[in-house]
Every structure is written in structure tokens, then in C-alpha cells.
Amino acid sequence: MSGNQVSGASAAIEARGLSKSFGERRALSDVSFAAARGELLAVIGPNGAGKTTLLSILAGILDADSGTIAVPGEVGWVPQSAALYRRLTVAENLRLFAHLEQVADVDAAVERMLEQTGLADRRDDQVGTLSGGNQQRVNIAIGLLTAPAVLLLDEPSTGLDPRQRERLWEFVLGLAGGGTTVIYTTHHLLEAERYGTRLLVLADGEDVFDGTAVDLHRAVPGPNGDFEAAFVRFLRERGH
């Protein structure tokens, strides 16, 4: 691991020594990192590296076997597949989860998210009738209902076409610009390089790199420019 880039005092979220096993399989092993307010932290790694497990622990879906998490504010969580009721309308989904999250002013929160996601004109449409991109926007909107300080996005662009992906990242960048710390996992290395202000690389449950995309390039010798090739070389050199 390259070491945390954010000091504990200024971090919007800080995790220390997170470990998690499923039976004999060790999914996470002593993972530590911190992220500052408004930072976009991309968590990348091969399949089975522990990315979703890490986000699930940060979201409170799973309990870590050991380690601590310090988050001063709310944490919003957006699962990989849209966690929505397709028979309910956009507004009904938002209202339901606002009630479940005990949001103080439910109606105001729903209106704010409809406005923020640009779905106000689709508020009475059943979610099942929306495009994949719009469903993902509702999915993210639910994660933002509590106006969280930290937003966790698990593979947010999976299943979206390039145009929908671009609109999604515009929206996410806007959130980060507003001060929300965004931690996202992705298999699209280009998205990690382009949008992530920092990268956390996991392999076999261990955090093997924490730094910028430029730092990753520097860490492995070879031709410049191809981030994907640099990433693969990085993992290979470290035996993953």
C-alpha cells in the first residue's frame, strides 16, 4: 500500500484495518484509507478483489470482522443493481425510502432529489417504465435522500450506454463539486483514471495502492499513456 493521502483530522471518512472473511475465504485483509470532503475515490481491482465487500461494510450492510470506520456525517449507499420497486413511481420510491431513512422533511427531500436528478417530469412514472440510465439516477437519488456527507457508488455505470454514462458522471462530479465525498467502484479503468481524484487498488482483499492515476503510472516502468496496461503490469509485479 502506498499510504493514506488524507489525514484523519480532515477526512470525511476514515477506515482503519478493515478485515472480513466469509468462511475460509478472506475477502478483505487489513484495509485502511481515508477520503477528504468533495473527493472522488475510485476503488478498482480485479474480480473478487473485495471492492463490493468494502463498500458494503462502509454502507453498514455487512459487519467487518475487525477494524474501525469513522464517518462524521451520513453515508449514502447506491448498490450496483438499481434497488427500486419497479411497480412504484419515481416519487413513491423516493418517498418510501425517505420514510425508512427517517428524513425530517420527506416532501422537501423528495422534491429536492427530483429536481437534482432532473426527473421531476417523470415523477409519476412507474420506475419499470424508465430507461436504465434514468433508473440509475433514481437509484442514486435514493442514496442522496439524507444529504449524506459520503456517497458510496457500487459500479454505478454498469449497463449504461456511453451517453447515459457521461450524464451520470456529470451528475456525480456536480455532487463532488458541492462537497459530497464520493467513493465508487468500477471495472471501467478509464472512468477511474478520468474521474477519480484518487485510486484505491484492491487485490485479493488487500489494498495494494492508494494514490493518483499518475502515481500508478510512475509506480510501474513502461510506455506512458495506457493506464490499463500500467494497471495490469502493476498487479502482475505484485503477484496478483
Partner 1 sequence: MRWLLLKDLQILRRSPLIVGLLIAYPIALGVLIGFALSADNSKPRVAFLNEVPSDQNFSIGSGDETIDRDLARNQLCSRVECVDVSSRSEAEHKVEDGEVIAALILPPDLLDKLNSLASLDPQQPRVEVLVNQDDPLKASLVDDRIQALVTEANLILSQRISDEASTYLNLLIEGGSFSLPLIGDIDVLGLQRAGAMLRTVARAVPEGSAHASLERVIRFAKLARQNLDFALPILGAVAEPIAVDKQVVAGDTAELDTFAIAVAVTVTLMFVTVLLVAGSLALEREENAFGRITRGLVGPTGLLAEKIALGIVASFAVTLLLLAALSALVSIDWGRTPLILCAILGGGAAFAAFGAAIGGSAREVRASSLLAFMVSLPIAFLSLVPSGTVSATVFHVIEFVRALFPFDAALDTMQGALDAAGPSVGVPLLHLTAVLVAYGVIARLALRRFA
Q: Which is nearer to partner 1, 32 or 80 (CB)?
A: 80
Helix (H) or strand (E) holding 216: helix 213-219
C-alpha cell at 81: 443493481
> Whole-number minimum distance, CB 191 to partner 1, in Å?
22
Q: Give contact residues for partner 1 (rule: CB under 8 A).
A: 56, 59-62, 77, 79, 81-88, 92, 96-97, 99-102, 126, 142
| Phi, psi torsion values for 35, nearest 5 degrees | -135, 140
> Whole-number minimum distance, CB 55 to partner 1, in Å?
11
Q: Which is nearer to partner 1, 32 or 126 (CB)?
A: 126
> In this structure, which amino acid lies at residue 139?
N
Residue carrying the nine cell digits 433514481: 138
> In this structure, which amino acid lies at residue 12?
A
Q: Which is nearer to partner 1, 80 or 164 (CB)?
A: 80
If you compute the radius of gyration of the chain from its CA atoms, what whole number of angstroms results? 18
| Phi, psi torsion values for 32, nearest 5 degrees | -135, 140
| Residues 41 and 184 sit within 8 Å (Cβ to Cβ) | yes
- Comparing CA positions, the residue from 4, 45, 30, 15 lying closest to residue 155 is 45
Q: Which is nearer to partner 1, 62 or 232 (CB)?
A: 62
> Whole-number minimum distance, CB 100 to partner 1, in Å?
5
> Whole-number minimum distance, CB 189 to partner 1, in Å?
25
Q: Which is nearer to partner 1, 55 or 213 (CB)?
A: 55
> Whole-number minimum distance, CB 194 to partner 1, in Å?
27
